[in-house]
Amino acid sequence: MDKIIRINMTDLTSKVEAVPAAWAGLGGRGLTSTIVAAEVPPTCHALGPYNKLVFAPGLLTGTPAANSGRLSAGAKSPLTGTIKESNAGGTAAQMLARMGIKALIIEGNPAGDAWYHVHLTTAGVTITEETELVGKGNFAVIDALEARLGKKTGVLTIGPAGEMKMTAANISVKDPDSKIRSHGRGGLGAVMGSKRIKCITIDDAGAPKVEIADPEKFKTAARAFAKALLDHPVSGEGLPTYGTNVLVNILNEAGGLPTKNFTIGQFEGHEKICGETMHDTIAKRGGKTKHGCHAGCIIQCSQVYNDKEGKYLTSGFEYETIWGLGADCCIDNLDDIATADNLMDDIGIDSIETAVMFGVAMEAGILQWGDSTEMLRLLREEIAKGTPLGRILGGGTGSVGKAYGVTRVPVVKNQGIPAYDPRSVKGIGITYATSTMGADHTAGYTIATNILNVGGYVDPLKKDGQVELSRNLQIATAAVDSTGMCIFIAFPALDIPECLPALIDMINARFGINLTGDDVTNLGKHILKVERQFNLDAGFTNKDDRLPEFFNTEPVAPHNVVWDFTGEEIDEFWNF
Amino acid sequence: MDKIIRINMTDLTSKVEAVPAAWAGLGGRGLTSTIVAAEVPPTCHALGPYNKLVFAPGLLTGTPAANSGRLSAGAKSPLTGTIKESNAGGTAAQMLARMGIKALIIEGNPAGDAWYHVHLTTAGVTITEETELVGKGNFAVIDALEARLGKKTGVLTIGPAGEMKMTAANISVKDPDSKIRSHGRGGLGAVMGSKRIKCITIDDAGAPKVEIADPEKFKTAARAFAKALLDHPVSGEGLPTYGTNVLVNILNEAGGLPTKNFTIGQFEGHEKICGETMHDTIAKRGGKTKHGCHAGCIIQCSQVYNDKEGKYLTSGFEYETIWGLGADCCIDNLDDIATADNLMDDIGIDSIETAVMFGVAMEAGILQWGDSTEMLRLLREEIAKGTPLGRILGGGTGSVGKAYGVTRVPVVKNQGIPAYDPRSVKGIGITYATSTMGADHTAGYTIATNILNVGGYVDPLKKDGQVELSRNLQIATAAVDSTGMCIFIAFPALDIPECLPALIDMINARFGINLTGDDVTNLGKHILKVERQFNLDAGFTNKDDRLPEFFNTEPVAPHNVVWDFTGEEIDEFWNF
């Protein structure tokens, strides 16, 4: 029987609850957003006792469905003030699913300065004071917890950034190699820190398998689904070979690779940091060019990146991080970027927010353009230690902009704008503007259709069709984020006719139900509207669905285009 | 002939414009808010080229009317994101009025790193590059400009805080003793800094007197008005004797003196910092217990506070500053508070925002409660020098709260809540919540009626009548802020029947018109609605008209009361 686990950190108690009927058909983002919207006062202080931190595996998580092992985390974001869902790979989602935990709701803030360790087993929840791990980086935490509780233990943890409630802090999830995946965006690590939980461990010993109502139907659908993933050139070839970093050269070519804090659309040093170079470097140094963030991933877009001595440097080394510290900060040294990636994992800070932040910090004169030595020092000596400068930097892009009076600050709803220039890839600008969670490329990844010719083609430089494109993708993404599926299944889903029906068939076979494609679309619409209503109730308006002023006034080379959508045109997004 | 001076800092030009008919009946806040609302895009970056900084003397400024010499400054606030008007004494307002300058509008931001000095004479405007004064404190700037241009020169200047675009930066105005008065709140100094104007000087040589249409009628009204000011116990006795600091003991007695970052309503050390102690100290050390912030002030609530050696320490030493660094920071040493006041004048940073900020900084552990030595060091060594910690502190109360993850952060619309606890003086809470400019006691000073029994009495601990009280006072204040009058004329205006008619008669006699009391009320309503509309267009909603969560949940001693207004009750404010 599926259940809800509710942990109250004010009095350090927990209880098991039945799943309300209204939540039964939900998982992942659909469930975290529904719970946050139902139980968190939209105007509450995100770090106060009225915010709640919710974890939920997806509808298909724990089944043999390919790429279904992602975990959603939700709360009111201390970075944006909006509702937030952030999903990540790792081992925790599948363990929770096997244990029948549909959602873990953490509420209340304890009095006092103690830190806590929450441990979940099939027997229940224990909450104990944690002293040994306080102040430790995430890698040390995972090592120590494995030594304490066994190698198989699932781990969710915050680093120093989360302990210090920095608004760029993330929540780290142990991956199958005891390395780190992240609930990156929106500062959810600060919410976990405000509840004074250093780590959550999971022991699923004795948990049953996830039940499947119609195993035969499931198997057939799962096979068709996996085939689609492997057949598509992006998910079957581009991503496994070069990782997400395949995009550096593609975006550079398209003139949409934001460079030097979004002042140019192409980076001179792109060849030194691109996916092709990364692939060859990894191969030469004996790393892994393919790697999955969770068991059952068949795309394998991750990798293990070693240093010159062949020693592990980082994994889960993503395009957006490489773009941000690379092109946007004018750093063309991939090893330094990899070192920074590893540090950010250890500190527990969102690598996208932090990379965009460094671009603004360079504009503010805190460090020089391209100075990766100083960038690494700032991570190690300032952010990790919580010095005043570290606090400013750890607050993310908007924080640095405010503290130093910078006007070129690429944020929407105070969240840093990622790796695609909205002036030269206009669809993604609509996503940044309208996403319920601040600037977020994953909310509606129009790059697929604007740049990669997936799901058709919409000219990235023209306004026509962009609002509709972003809307359709955001609706679909909200639904996909509820299944526990990786967002990259969208590529085959958009191009291969068998893919989406197979996904729906798997859900139907899992639960013994009969969802149609329309049901899935309606679920996506419903989730977006629930999230939007939370934001409206928190005081957001259409005036927040805008890009920063400089995109309207500063043309970006090489196309020399500006962001030219009117407010009314953007607001059309919500007409559904 | 009255005129508008428009300065364009993008191309360093200026022009003289006729006063549009629609602006002819406006002055002070009514004019700055009208111009900002008409010409500044509400969603623009407050430090970007689309914001404008507007100065306007009041309708009666430059006439012999008592207490009419205040200058309004307006812009979009970088601290709150709302429209902002801040008024101050000093000599500039009367000089501008005599020169027929109804408003000075500064628009555009220059390219490059140069700083500028704007000089106004009857012959026109000169804009020259300024090098000597860059980085200098306000007292040195005033000294240097007097040496350069003569003792009589009017000066508006920003200190290091404004140069660094700190959002708590103010604009300083030279007073009749070459000391400093401030356009304190809302970070207007950062706007002036973003336009790279270090100082504005005024030479009114050759300017005619302000014309008065009916001199006899004016003289009669002015006499009646002055008599009312002198007859009222608050403006005629309390303020001249003890300054605004008369309020420390009164608010402490009422249990509404926020102490230790708004955790208690009374301060043990109140006797050491109160107006009575201050008066005796000043008298003993040969300072001045009475002092006017501008020529023609007959209330004389200011003072000159000397140190133990009888040397000048500070002037314009206000209750809110003394409360904030005193009770709210648990500092009971008036000399240290006076030293800080002088430093804040020199740095050019709002003393209210900074004082409230220090309370949060103490809660965050940046310094210890009551540690005035460290507080002075932080002002001198961190804020004035713009170190990273100084940047955090110079960003004001909300900035420190965000950087350190504090949840007890007394702000509305990111502006620090001043010296009156809204739980035990509920009327002022309505003003904080609904003011168009963030938490601001001067916007509708219900303390008059809640605590001082001026204009009747509304029990401060009950909800009844508070919304109406705040509404009536905010409407009246918006009108009074348009006349160039000091806000303290409200005390006699509320109690002495002859006062308000005399004020209206003076306006009528000055312009040869026939305003009624209703016209004045309607002007106040109109101003509030113009300001409110700007904020709505900037994306604010009624959700922003709320006090921070902790006021609802933490009872404050000695009355052990919480803030118990519902959102709906607060929103009633705007029903007019």
pLDDT digits 0-9 by tens, A299-331: 999 999 999 999 999 999 999 999 999 999 999
Q: Give yes or no for A396 touching B (CB within 8 A).
A: no
Distance from the B430 Cα atom to the nearest Cα atom in chain A, whole angstroms? 18
Given a cut of 90, whether residue B195 has pLDDT beyond it is yes
Q: What is the pLDDT of residues A358-378, one digit of tens each?
A: 999 999 999 999 999 999 999
Q: What is the pLDDT of residues B130-149, one digit of tens each?
A: 999 999 999 999 999 999 99
Among the partner-chain residues B167, B405, B550, the one whose CB lies closest to the CB of A402 is: B167
Given a cut of 90, whether residue A554 has pLDDT beyond it is yes
Q: CA A537 from chain center: how many Å?
A: 24
Residues of B in contact with A550 (CB under 8 A): 45, 48
Average pLDDT estimate for A62-90: 97
Identify the band that residue B540 occupies on the pLDDT scale cut at 50, 70 and 90.
very high
Q: Give yes or no for B541 touching A (CB within 8 A).
A: yes
Bridge partners for B119 per DSSP: B126, B201
**What pTM, to 2 d.p., does this model score?**
0.97
Where do the domains of chain A lie? Answer: 3-202, 214-238+422-576, 243-421
Residues of A in contact with B392 (CB under 8 A): 388, 391-392, 403
Task: Please answer yes or no on whether A43 and B190 come within 8 Å at the CB atom.
Answer: no
Which pairs with CB-CB distance under 8 Å and at least 24 residues apart come from A97-100? A97/A57, A97/A61, A97/A62, A97/A63, A97/A210, A97/A484, A98/A62, A98/A204, A98/A207, A98/A208, A98/A209, A98/A210, A99/A202, A99/A204, A99/A207, A100/A1, A100/A2, A100/A3, A100/A207, A100/A208
Q: Give yes or no for A45 touching B (CB within 8 A).
A: yes
Identify the band that residue B1 occupies on the pLDDT scale cut at 50, 70 and 90.
confident
For residue B156, give the amino acid letter: L
Q: Give yes or no for A191 touching B (CB within 8 A).
A: no
Distance from the A549 Cα atom to the nearest Cα atom in chain B, whole angstroms? 7
A378: left (phi over 0), alpha (psi -120 to 50) or beta: alpha
Query: Among all residues of chain A, which has the CA nearest to that of B552?
Result: A44
Given a cut of 90, whether residue A434 has pLDDT beyond it is yes
ipTM summary value:
0.96
What's the sign of the alpha-carbon dihedral A534, A538, A543, A546? negative
Q: What is the pLDDT of residue B184?
A: 95
Task: Please answer yes or no on whether B399 and A403 come within 8 Å at the CB atom.
Answer: yes
CB A186 within 8 A of CB A77: yes
Q: CA A292 from chain center: how many Å?
A: 16
For the domain made up of B243-420, the CATH class stated in words is mainly alpha
**What SS3 class is residue A118?**
strand
Q: Give yes or no for B370 touching A (CB within 8 A).
A: no
Nearest-angstrom CA–CA distance, A527 and A537: 15
Query: Among all residues of chain A, which has the CA nearest to that of B194?
Result: A405
CB B325 within 8 A of CB B379: no
Given a cut of 90, whether residue A82 has pLDDT beyond it is yes
Q: What is the pLDDT of residue A117?
A: 98
Q: Give yes or no for A387 touching B (CB within 8 A).
A: yes
Identify the band that residue A240 occupies on the pLDDT scale cut at 50, 70 and 90.
very high
Count interface pairs A-B at CB distance under 8 A: 91
Which pairs with CB-CB distance under 8 Å and at least 24 residues apart come from A43-46? A43/A537, A43/A538, A43/A539, A43/B543, A43/B546, A43/B549, A44/A76, A44/B549, A45/B407, A45/B548, A45/B549, A45/B550, A46/A75, A46/A76, A46/A77, A46/A78, A46/A81, A46/A187, A46/A190, A46/A191, A46/A194
Average pLDDT estimate for B239-245: 94
CB A504 within 8 A of CB B502: no
For the domain made up of B213-236+422-576, the CATH class stated in words is mainly alpha
Angle at A221 (CA atoms; ends A217, A226), nearest 5 degrees: 150
Q: Give yes or no for B45 touching A (CB within 8 A).
A: yes
Identify the band that residue A199 occupies on the pLDDT scale cut at 50, 70 and 90.
very high
Among the partner-chain residues B403, B538, B540, the one whose CB lies closest to the CB of A392 is: B403
Q: Give yes or no for B110 touching A (CB within 8 A).
A: no
Average pLDDT estimate for A58-70: 97
Nearest-angstrom CA–CA distance, A304 and A311: 10
Q: What is the pLDDT of residues B287-343, one digit of tens each?
A: 999 999 999 999 999 999 999 999 999 999 999 999 999 999 999 999 999 999 999
Distance from the B347 Cα atom to the nearest Cα atom in chain A, whole angstroms? 17
Q: What is the pLDDT of residue A532?
A: 98
Average pLDDT estimate for A449-454: 97
End-to-end, the C-alpha distance of chain B in Å comes to 36
Task: Please answer yes or no on whether A388 and B402 come within 8 Å at the CB atom.
Answer: no
Angle at B307 (CA atoms; ends B304, B312), nearest 5 degrees: 45
Tokens of B158: 């920003």
Q: What is the pLDDT of residue A1?
A: 78
Average pLDDT estimate for A219-225: 98
Residues of B in contact with A407 (CB under 8 A): 45, 47-48, 194
> So what's the architecture of A243-421 in CATH?
Orthogonal Bundle (1.10)
Task: Please answer yes or no on whether A403 and B389 come within 8 Å at the CB atom.
Answer: no
Bridge partners for A55 per DSSP: A73, A104
Find out whether the peptide bond into B555 is cis, omega within 30 degrees of 0: no
Give the fold, CATH level 3, of A214-238+422-576: 1.10.599
Strand A180-183 relative to strand B171-174, pairing: unpaired
CB A413 within 8 A of CB A186: no
Distances (CA, A) of B373 to A233, B336, B368, B377, B379: 66, 8, 10, 6, 10
Q: Give yes or no for A14 touching B (CB within 8 A).
A: no
Residues of A in contact with B539 (CB under 8 A): 540-541, 543-544
Greatest CA separation found in chain A?
62
Residues of A in contact with B550 (CB under 8 A): 45, 48
Task: Please answer yes or no on whether A391 and B387 come within 8 Å at the CB atom.
Answer: no
Share the mean pLDDT of chain A.
97
**What SS3 class is residue A314?**
strand
Residues of A in contact with B546 (CB under 8 A): 43
Average pLDDT estimate for A272-277: 97
Tell me which of 3.40.630.30, 3.60.9.10, 3.40.1350.10, 3.30.2320.20 is the CATH number of domain B3-202.
3.60.9.10
Chain B interface mutation, best of A44, A51, A188, A392, highest count of B Cβ atoms under 10 Å:
A392
Helices and strands (H and E) in chain B: how many: 25, 17
Residues of B in contact with A549 (CB under 8 A): 43-45, 48, 50
Q: What is the pLDDT of residue A526?
A: 98
Given a cut of 90, whether residue B492 has pLDDT beyond it is yes
Q: What is the pLDDT of residue A83?
A: 98
Q: What is the pLDDT of residues A10-35, one digit of tens each?
A: 999 999 999 999 999 999 999 999 99
- Residue B414: name the closest of B89, B84, B135, B105 by CA: B84
Q: What is the pLDDT of residues A279-290, one digit of tens each?
A: 999 999 999 999
Angle at A363 (CA atoms; ends A360, A366), nearest 5 degrees: 85
Nearest-angstrom CA–CA distance, B359 and A179: 41
Q: What is the pLDDT of residue B24?
A: 93
Q: What is the pLDDT of residue B354?
A: 98
Residue percentage of chain B with pLDDT more than 70: 100
